């Protein structure tokens, strides 16, 4: 099986505006979830709860 890392890298940098180092440091399972069409987007309520649960220090 061949993995399309070059195409994924272009997508990450050009469309998702990730830094190349962020893309290469990301675990494969996280990347696959990120690009999965079945992954629901966060709404405002879910984002607010997430920020409460995991505040930036």
pLDDT tens digits along 5-57 = 999 999 999 999 999 999 999 999 999 988 888 877 788 999 999 999 999 87
Q: What is the CA radius of gyration of the chain?
A: 14
pLDDT value for 57: 78
Residues in contact with 18: Cβ distance below 8 Å, sequence separation at least 6, in sequence order: 12, 26
What pTM was estimated for this model as a whole?
Answer: 0.61
pLDDT value for 1: 73
Tell me the C-alpha distance between 34 and 57, whole Å. 25
Tell me the C-alpha distance between 18 and 50, whole Å. 21
């Amino acid at each position: 099986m061949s993995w399309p890392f070059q195409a994924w890298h272009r997508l990450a940098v050009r469309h998702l505006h990730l830094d190349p180092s962020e893309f290469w440091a990301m675990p494969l399972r996280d990347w696959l979830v990120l690009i999965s069409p079945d992954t629901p987007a966060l709404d405002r309520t879910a984002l607010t709860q997430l920020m409460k649960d995991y505040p930036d220090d």
